[in-house]
Structure 1
């Protein structure tokens, strides 16, 4: 049996930690469109609303130096562009070699970050290994910051004094799309799916899930009965034969279409996996 459980000592942190793995998915966008429409076409140092940063996942779409040349070092993962997330006073960077985080503030139209902390994974691909420092030092250079909107798509620009300019495209977070903070729950997902009666999908195979509840000491207090889940979990891809415990956010879907679920589940992190 191959187990990869999260250390028990860390579980209380898992119960309360902020989301670290925002997902890339579609969904209701009315709240996002309203947010963008309310924002000015171009922000200035005097008018910048730092709150807009928290409403989106920011994915790197362009980067150039003072001569206009593309900064290839920042695109070591073409299929997974660098992503910035701003949650309260914390900035996190994902899709580099390691996960990177720091405190931040916006002051005088510039992004100020505290000391960078990161996980300690070793990436054999040198370009990927170098990606951590390539993005970290540019974030720590106190770049000027602005947000522009092109229709319903916001773009975040970070411009350093040496001429480097990074452009990130915003995708609404689940909180923005669903219009509330959601509820954090833990779901245990059985290793195998089972046939289920779905009103719209013939021969549907459903995940089998049950909710887990933990005490303050991280010990499992209860697990509900196994039940079919008639919908997908955004950001989660099930591998047959693998049992997982997931930390997810559960949202209420406002005015869902007929026969569509009134709740949505978005993956926050995989807590435990086992065969």
Structure 2
């Protein structure tokens, strides 16, 4: 069995599965096997979860690299055939331009998942200044379609995500302190241990979201959708709700 077939098998996929299927399979398995979900006193299971997460991380990165490389020629072929422009050269060109630029290009961004070509191209559409090392503090993504995106460990403090679609997004340990998430769609979003202190979640859709271990202190949830009738459909196990304004307007003590 070659490495690619093994990666598909680790994610429970058939060879040739799409990039979207790879991303979804990874998020499902990462949610199940993340060590933070395992009791710390169970050392054997905790170690097993760490090893399993390393395997699925490798499988995701390997398949994503192949899928992104397969898509790259159609996206950049026309740019590679054009003569050099005054703007800086793209870091995604498969070979350097034939004529060197007048001044040396800036160094490439750090090699990490947070700066992958998928995320670079996504945020470019919003014309935001480039952040480094996962820093998206203050970014304006109001009304953006971010469904199923992975923002794990990213810094989105004071970001404007009002009316954004974050359904099924993976937001594990993301920093959303003082962020504006008013009227945002967080349906089934994974916000394990996220920092949402003093965040604005007014009139947002929180049904199916998992806030286990999250910091919601001082957050405003006025008018937020949290369930149907008397049934609460938001997971708040271990969440910090000190000073949180609850959907009914009451302040949690």
Please indicate the TM-score interval, normalised by the length of the shorter structure.
under 0.3
TM-score, structure 2 normalization: 0.22
TM-score, structure 1 normalization: 0.21
Say which structure, 1 or 2, has more relative contact order (CA 8 Å, 6+ apart). Answer: 1
Query: If each structure's helix is expressed as a fraction of its own residues, which one has the higher value?
Result: 2
